[in-house]
Amino acid sequence: MRLLRRGKVKDIYELDDGKNILFHFSDRISAFDIKMSTPIPRKGEVLCKFGEFWFNSLGTRHHMIKVVDKDKMLVEKLNMIPVECVVRGYFYGSLVERYRSGIDLDLPKEFSPVLATKLPKPVFDPTTKSEEHDRPTKAQELTSSKVLSKEEYEYLEETSISLYNRMAKVANGAGFIMADVKFEFGRNSAGEIVLGDSLGPDEYRLWLASDYVPGRVQESYDKQLLRDWLIKTGFKDRIDTFALEGRKPDAPVIPIELVNKLSQRYIAAYERITGSRL
C-alpha cells in the first residue's frame, strides 16, 4: 500500500492490487481552500460512517466496497470526473455572493432573493475541481472542452438533483434542512459513471428545521460554523487579499470552544440522521 495523495481532509492510499484504494478520513478541516492547523475530534470517524450510511441508503451505483475501520473506507479506484456536482436548494452561501455580483444564475425572474429562502426548485450548479480553488462552470464550457459529452452532463445533472432530493427527504425526517450538497462522480473499470469520493458534513450544509427563519444567517450543523468565524474575525478578508498576490495566509488557531462545538454538531448530525450512536 502506498500513499497517493494527502488531501485537505483525507489521505488516499493505493492498494497493492492496483484496483482499489483506501480512504483514511482525518480530523483535519478546511475552509475557503485553507487547511486549518487545528483538528476537530472524531470528525474523521463521522465523515467515514456518514459516507457509509449514504452510499448504502441512496440506491445508486457507487464505489464503496466496505468500511474497514472507524475512519477508513475501502473503495473501487475510479477515473474521477474533474467536476464537483453541486446542487443548491436554498439561496445561501456563494450563490448569494454571485447573485449580488450580477452573475446570471438561471433563477426565475419572479424569485425573491431573501437570504436562506428555498429556491423554486433545486439548482444544478457545477464547479471545476481543484486543490487550490474551485470555480463555477457551465454546461457549454464542460462539453466544448470535452470534459463531458452532452449526454454525460445531462446524466450528472439529473442524477445529482435526484440524489439531493432523496438526501433532503431523509434529513428532513430527522429534523434537518439540507440546503445544498456536493457530489463527485468517476468512471469505473467498465467505463460506467458511478458516485464516488464521500458524502458527509464537508459535502453538504445542514440546518435545524426548528430554528429555520428565512432572511437571516442559519445555525449550521456542518463546517459553516468555521466559515462564519473566519468571516467574523476578518481572516476571510486576509485570504482574499493574499489571493490577489497568488498566496495563502497561514491558518489561524481555532478556539477550543469552536472546536468542541464543531465536533459536537458533526456527531449530533450523524446520530440524528442515521439513528445510530457513534
**Domain check: are 233 and 219 in the same one?**
yes
> Do 135 and 269 belong together in one domain?
yes
Same domain, 85 and 204: yes
- pLDDT, position 240: 93
Q: What is the mean pLDDT of residues 26-31?
A: 94
Assess whether 161 and 254 both reside in one domain.
yes
Domain stops at, among 56, 76, 96:
76
Query: What pLDDT does 131 receive?
Result: 52
CATH number reported for the structural domain that contains residue 190 in this entry? 3.30.470.20
Q: Shortest CA distance to 148 belongs to which of 102, 80, 208?
A: 80
**Total count of residues recorded for the chain:** 278
Q: Are residues 26 and 119 in the same domain?
A: no
Final residue of a structural domain among 76, 101, 136: 76
Strand ranges (DSSP E) for the chain? 2-6, 10-14, 20-25, 30-31, 34-35, 64-69, 72-76, 79-80, 83-90, 118-124, 127-128, 176-187, 193-196, 204-208
Q: The pTM is what?
A: 0.89
* AA identity, residue 224: Q
Q: Cβ distance 53 to 274 under 8 Å?
A: yes
Taking only the tens place, the pLDDT of each residue in 85-106 is 999 999 998 888 888 887 767 7
Query: For residue 95, what are the domain limits?
Result: 79-274
Please answer whether residues 64 and 189 qualify as being in contact, where contact means their C-beta atoms are separated by less than 8 angstroms: no
Residue 68's φ and ψ, nearest 5 degrees, are -110, -5
CA distance 200 to 71: 12
CB 6 within 8 A of CB 60: no
The reply to whether 146 and 116 lie within a common domain is: yes
pLDDT of res. 213: 96
Residue with more model confidence, 140 or 168: 168
Summarize pLDDT for 199-214 with one digit per residue, the tens: 988 899 999 999 999 9
For residues 238 and 150, membership in a common domain is answered with yes
More confidently predicted of 250 and 139: 250
Domain co-membership, 106 together with 198: yes
The answer on pLDDT for 231 being more than 90 is yes
Final residue of a structural domain among 43, 76, 109: 76
For residues 72 and 84, state if they share a domain.
Answer: no
> Residues 30, 133: one domain?
no
User: Which CATH number is 17's domain given?
Assistant: 3.30.200.20
Instruction: pLDDT band for 143, please (50, 70, 90 cuts).
Output: confident
pLDDT confidence tier of residue 148, bands split at 50, 70 and 90: confident
> Is the same domain home to 218 and 85?
yes
At residue 196, does pLDDT exceed 80? yes
Distance, CA of 152 to CA of 139 (rounded, Å): 10
pLDDT at 1: 84
pLDDT given at position 72: 97
pLDDT given for residue 159 in this prediction: 97
Dump pLDDT digits (tens) for 44-88: 999 999 999 999 999 999 999 999 989 999 999 999 999 999 999
Average pLDDT over all residues of the chain: 91
- Alpha-carbon Rg for the chain, nearest whole angstrom, is 18
pLDDT digits (tens, 9 = 90+) for 100-139: 887 767 777 778 889 999 998 999 999 887 555 567 777 7
Phi, psi of 12 (to 5 degrees): -120, 125
DSSP count for the chain of H helices, then E strands? 7, 14
How many structural domains is the chain composed of?
2
φ, ψ (nearest 5 deg) of residue 174: -100, 10
- The answer on 142 and 103 residing in a single domain is yes
